[in-house]
Amino acid sequence: MLRDVITAGALLTVFQTARSPERTITAHIDAHVAEGLALLERVVNINSGTQNHAGVRQVGAIFRAAFDRLGFKTSWIDGSEWRRAGHLVAEHPGRGMRILLIGHLDTVFEPDSPFQKFERIDEKTAKGPGIIDMKGGDVIIVQALEALDAAGRLKDMNLTIVMTGDEEDPGRPLSKAREALVAAARGADVAIGFEDGPGDPRYAVTARRGTTGWELRVTGTAAQSSQIFRDDIGPGAIFEAARILNAFREKMSGEEHLTFNPGVILGGTSVDVNAVQARGSAFGKTNVVAEQAVVSGDLRTLSPAQLERAMTTMRQIAAAGMPHTQATITFDEGYPPLAPTDGNARLLALYDQASRDVGAGPVTAVSPDKAGAADVSFVAAEVKMILDGVGLMGHDDHTPGETADLSTLPSQTKRAAITLYRLATQPR
Ligand SMILES: [Zn+2]
């Protein structure tokens, strides 16, 4: 009889093919948590502060090897043109939806930071520089793809991975520094960023505000202070700067999702500004009307249209100067916003369903007012379905208390892997 000749090994094979690919994927993830944690500890222990180019490249080489093993075509994009380490790009052409996965290799902790090492706190907690922002997310990408591969599902997938080397402090010009990322996004149907987002697995990010820096420069007419406000002298540069800032607040502070913050101000007879270091010095006497004032700040908006409106208002306010003063405001190229779209909401709905199905609970969108700018924003104009903040969860990123909830490593990996599996089986 047939039954008599089936060996134990063959029975196991029959069982495995009988069970669903999704079960195989989640079982693989559960069986490889220790490997994931070991990889996380290894990469966290390599300093990859944005300016430590050798460290960024070293972390990149480790992830590159992982993608090579999975059959990706990998390359290192040299970053010397924008004075950073560069980016890792891994490509896996295939059928079906084109999916872009986004990570970054750098952290805010440079080699002179006292915070350098992975430290296990207890069974489910560890601290470390970049552990959630975002080496944990990078590990989740690797483990999700390994699980898809184990289920035989990776081979047909159409995937590109970009791990940037300067997310925390991008090189300039930004258009150069993000050229490879934007190129990888062109023609993609889906983009998923594995940042830690709000750090809470109940939330993911479908919208991020953009950030643009601005600088206001005001000049006034110098005179003896006793003559201030005279028709031919005016109020001086400092009063004019104060008028402009107050008008910004009065005209614009009520608008939803819009914020703007003057972060530093200098004024007097002469000012010396070091914009790179965000510092400077001023000279002025109490009995002299101020001749110069410089203010720099940021501006955050949820859509390109909101940014345009805000810039127009700020320019108009600056132009409507008091007598014998002159003001100009300039804006830098900044981070674009990731506006909330129907496509992003659909992707979140898929991710939410995957999360429920693997027993990790529902996921909703976090308020964009709580989500800072990130690399995913640069692909907003190219990709219709974007989700971010699905990396390793925890708290206190960018501080020496950066802590991971290690129990979210398998759960976040399962959600991601099942989402990718289901996306890949959908028609384009
Ligand atoms: Zn990050």
pLDDT tens-digit series, residues 275-301 = 877 789 999 999 999 999 999 999 999
Q: Where in the chain is the domain with CATH 3.40.630.10?
A: 19-208+338-424
Distance 315 CA to ligand 1 centre (A): 32
Tell me the CA–centroid distance for residue 290 and ligand 1, in Å. 42
Q: What whole-number percentage of the chain has pLDDT above 70?
A: 95
Expressed in angstroms and rounded, the spacing between residue 26 Cα and the centre of ligand 1 is 26
Please give the pLDDT value at position 9.
45
The amino acid present at 404, given as its one-letter code, is: A
Compute, in angstroms, the gap from residue 52 CA to the centroid of ligand 1.
16
Q: What is the mean pLDDT of residues 144-164?
A: 97
- Give the residue range(s) of CATH 3.30.70.360 domains in the chain: 210-331
The rounded distance, in Å, linking the Cα atoms of 232 and 325 is 11
Name the phi and psi angles at 333, rounded to 5.
-75, -25
From the centroid of its chain, how far is CA 229?
48
Q: 311: CA distance to ligand 1 center in Å?
A: 27
So what's the pLDDT on residue 334?
85
Average pLDDT over residues 74-86: 98
Residue type, 272: D
- Tell me what pLDDT residue 66 has: 98
**Stretch 113-134: mean pLDDT:** 97
Among 7-16, 225-234, 320-329, 403-412, which is the least confidently predicted range?
7-16
Q: CA angle at residue 256 from 189 to 209, to 5 degrees?
A: 35
Is-contact 181 161, C-beta < 8 A? Answer: no
Indicate the average pLDDT of the chain. Answer: 94
Average pLDDT of span 8-36: 76
Which residues are 119's β-sheet partners?
127
Identify whether the C-beta of residue 325 lies closer than 8 Å to the C-beta of residue 240: yes
Higher-pLDDT residue of 371, 90? 90
Residues with Cβ within 8 Å of 246's Cβ and at least 6 positions away in sequence, in order, are none
Distances (CA, A) of 372 to 168, 204, 205, 210, 384: 11, 13, 10, 8, 20
Phi, psi of 422 (to 5 degrees): -70, -35
Task: Report pLDDT digits (tens) over 222-268.
Answer: 999 999 999 999 999 999 999 999 999 999 999 999 999 999 999 99
Q: Give residue 277's pLDDT.
A: 75
- Decide if pLDDT at 198 tops 70: yes
Distance 106 CA to ligand 1 centre (A): 8
Residue 414: C-alpha distances to residues 42, 164, 327 (Å): 22, 24, 54
Provide the CA 139 distance to its chain's centre, in angstroms.
Answer: 16
Angle at 317 between CA 313 and CA 320, to 5 degrees: 140
- Measured in Å, residue 193 CA sits from the centre of ligand 1 at 9
Q: What is the pLDDT of residue 401?
A: 97
> Is 345 strand, coil or helix?
helix
pLDDT of 425 reads 84
Q: Determine the distance separating the centroid of ligand 1 and the alpha carbon of 17, expressed in angstroms.
A: 39
CA angle 129, 40, 43 (to 5 degrees): 65
Ligand 1 centroid from CA 16, angstroms: 38
pLDDT band (50, 70, 90) for residue 159:
very high
Cite the DSSP H helix spans in 125-279: 136-150, 174-177, 179-185, 236-252
Q: Given the DSSP bridges, would you call strands 394-395 and 403-405 parallel, antiparallel or unpaired?
A: antiparallel
Tell me how far apart the alpha carbons of residues 235 and 123 are, in angstroms, rounded to a whole number: 64
Six-digit token pair at 427?
Answer: 């028609």
Phi-psi region of 224 (alpha: psi -120 to 50; beta: other; left: phi over 0): beta
Distance 166 CA to ligand 1 centre (A): 10
Angle between helices 136-150 and 33-44 (to 10 degrees): 150
Residue 10: both structure tokens together: 């063959």
**CA of 197 relative to ligand 1 center, distance in Å:** 8
CA of 104 to the centre of ligand 1 (A): 7
Give the pLDDT score at 108.
Answer: 95
Residue 167 Cα to ligand 1 midpoint, Å, equals: 6
Query: 210-331: which CATH number, 3.40.50.2000, 3.30.565.10, 3.30.70.360, 3.30.230.10?
Result: 3.30.70.360
Instruction: Report the alpha-carbon distance of residue 101 to residue 139 in Å, rounded.
Output: 12
Other beta carbons within 10 Å of 201: 22
Count the Cβ atoms, other than its own, within 10 Å of residue 283: 12
**pLDDT for position 426:** 80
Query: Which residues lie at CB < 5 A from ion ligand 1?
Result: 133-134, 195
- Report how far ligand 1's centroid is from the alpha carbon of 342 (Å): 25
C-alpha of residue 184 to centroid of ligand 1, in Å: 19
Distance from the alpha carbon of residue 313 to the mean position of ligand 1, in angstroms: 32
Tokens for 269? 């007879």
What's the CATH number for 19-208+338-424? 3.40.630.10
- Rounded distance from Cα 370 to ligand 1 centre (Å): 14
User: How far is ligand 1, taken at its centre, from the CA of residue 389, in Å?
Assistant: 9
- Residues 6-17 pLDDT 10s: 444 444 444 444
Do the bridges between strand 98-104 and strand 190-193 make them parallel or antiparallel, or are there none, so unpaired? parallel
Provide mean pLDDT across the span 77-99: 96
User: What integer pLDDT is reported at residue 369 of this predicted model?
Assistant: 85
